[in-house]
Structure 1
Amino acid sequence: MNSRCVAATLGAALLMAGCATSSGPQYYSLAETAAPVRTAVAAGGTTPVYIELAPIAMPERFARPQMVVRKKGSPESPAVDILEDHRWSSSFDSELRDALGSSIASRLGAVDVTKTGRLRGQPATRIAVQLGQFDAAEGSRVDASFTWTVRRTDEGPATGCQLSLSEPVGSGFDALAQGAQRVTAKLADAIAASVSAIKANQVPSCAA
């Protein structure tokens, strides 16, 4: 085999190797790696606590797997980027609901019946969350605002709460995803506290 053939063969092999090792989208999760675990007593009772989380309400632009971020270098601009190569592991509304459900349950020592369903007559605290704002800027911060209602199943009116958060983040999309994780964890803290207050027949401090 002459040198030209060797060079052509080597070039083709390198091209194939490059195609084989090219990376696809990077996926991120909002789930905590080590959520705090507490007992049902923290929720104001000794009997098992059941929670049921409604689908998260949010603007349609966020209900997608791709990260939606502010234009880099222009965090105050109304322009955003929808990142095909940086995605949540599922649609953002589903990702947030799954992360919140498990985190709230772990904080309360509760049973999350969101997906499994509850038995007829089984009491459960129903939680409905609405995302109002979720602005993420790489190398800057994640600003988010939420409202939610908590009520005991079929018992009286719902109690409403609201929370605004701002979490500083470093450079890179890993740092941005970690900032979103921290926002989610703080939201879970606040919701769990409101559930505990209601179970104890108290008015949550976050009540709107």
Structure 2
Amino acid sequence: MKPMQSGSWRAMARTVSIIGLSVLTACASPATRFYTLGTDAQPTMASSKAGSSSRIDIRPVQVPPSVARSQLVVQVNATQVKVLEDDRWASSLPDEIRYALIAGVSQEADGPGAKAVMRNEDDPVYQVAVDVQRFESWPSSHVLVDVVWTVGASPGAETLTCHSVVSEPVPDGYQAIVLGHRHAISAVAGQIAEVVRGLATRPVDRPLRTAGAWRGTGKTTLSCPQFADGVQTAVNGAAARFGE
């Protein structure tokens, strides 16, 4: 058998290299996309701000176990979801929601985040607890956020608990879903900020009461706020709790 010419060896080597690169390209994983819920909240009018000395302390956020993961989770139908391996949150979903709320509430209530300033015993600290009941993503349809949140001024045990349900329509695409959730969380942040402002402007010698309670007694009332016009939302429930 005649020995193979050097040119033939080079041709075979090039062919093997091309085949190898093609196999590697076919097996390569698609690029992973990362998203954040950072908000674009803007400060409100100066006349309604809580004051620069107030501080907002948003506690770790609770979310349903089904969405407490790094991947985006979208609804296929009412009983089935899809976990997107290549579309992920930049940090854990509870942290994404918390950071977005800290930014939004602090900006709208004109109070820096609790971790961003030195503690001063004379400065009021408004503690916020957030429990996300539902965090749904329906591609090409809408997103829905169902949140129970509580605001209380410290020191003291007075709190106001509200229930917000926000639905935002979204077009096709996972980026649109993220933007929808950003708008929804921003709307909730605006409500929390409104309560903080109400607590900040309330006379310190008057106890917190829910709207409609203690009629005729002259007590200051504070109720869960409604969303602004143009936002597809519903707000349900309001309760003032004492001694907790």
Q: TM-score range by the shorter chain?
A: 0.7 to 0.9
* Equivalent residue letter for 1:43: K
**Cα distance in structure 2, aligned partners of 1:171 and 1:4:** 47
Distance 1:186 1:27, change over 3 A: same
- Give the structure 2 partner of residue 78 of structure 1: 79
Q: Which residue of 8, 28, 48 corresponds with 2:53? A: 48
- Give the structure 2 partner of residue 25 of structure 1: 32
Q: Could you tell me how far 1:24 is from its partner in structure 2?
A: 3.4
Distance 1:113 1:191, change over 3 A: same
Alignment root-mean-square deviation, CA:
2.4
Q: Could you tell me how far 1:63 is from its partner in structure 2?
A: 1.9
Q: Which residue of 41, 44, 69 corresponds with 1:35? A: 41
Q: Could you tell me how far 1:114 is from its partner in structure 2?
A: 4.2
- Tell whether 2:94 aligns with 1:88: no
Structure showing greater radius of gyration is 2
Q: Could you tell me how far 1:5 is from its partner in structure 2?
A: 3.0
* Equivalent residue letter for 2:70: P
- Give the structure 2 partner of residue 5 of structure 1: 13
**Cα distance in structure 1, aligned partners of 2:129 and 2:222:** 17
**Conserved in 2, the CA contact under 8 Å of 1:51 and 1:113?**
yes
Q: Could you tell me how far 1:14 is from its partner in structure 2?
A: 4.3
Identity rate, percent = 24
- Give the structure 1 partner of residue 144 of structure 2: 143
Q: Which runs of 5+ in 2 are unaligned?
A: 1-6, 203-220, 226-236, 239-244
- Give the structure 2 partner of residue 154 of structure 1: 155
Instruction: Report the secondary structure of 1:111's partner residue.
Output: coil
Distance 1:117 1:171, change over 3 A: farther
Q: Could you tell me how far 1:58 is from its partner in structure 2?
A: 2.2
Instruction: Report the secondary structure of 1:67's partner residue.
Output: strand
* Equivalent residue letter for 1:31: G
Instruction: Report the secondary structure of 2:144's partner residue.
Output: strand
TM-score, normalised by the number of residues in structure 1: 0.85
* Equivalent residue letter for 1:24: A
**Aligned length in residues:** 201
**Greater RCO (Cα-Cα under 8 Å, separation 6 or more):** 1
Q: Could you tell me how far 1:22 is from its partner in structure 2?
A: 4.7
Q: Could you tell me how far 1:84 is from its partner in structure 2?
A: 1.7
Q: Could you tell me how far 1:37 is from its partner in structure 2?
A: 3.0
Q: Could you tell me how far 1:60 is from its partner in structure 2?
A: 2.0
Q: Map of 1:177-192 to 2, 5 A cutoff?
A: 177-192=178-193
Q: Deviations over 1:92-115 (max 9, x none)?
A: 011100111011111122110147
**Conserved in 2, the CA contact under 8 Å of 1:43 and 1:195?**
no
**Conserved in 1, the CA contact under 8 Å of 2:150 and 2:161?**
yes
Distance 1:114 1:59, change over 3 A: farther
**Cα distance in structure 1, aligned partners of 2:47 and 2:131:** 27
TM-score, normalised by the number of residues in structure 2: 0.73
**Cα distance in structure 2, aligned partners of 1:151 and 1:188:** 15
Q: Deviations over 1:164-188 (max 9, x none)?
A: 1111111111111111111111111
Q: Could you tell me how far 1:64 is from its partner in structure 2?
A: 1.6
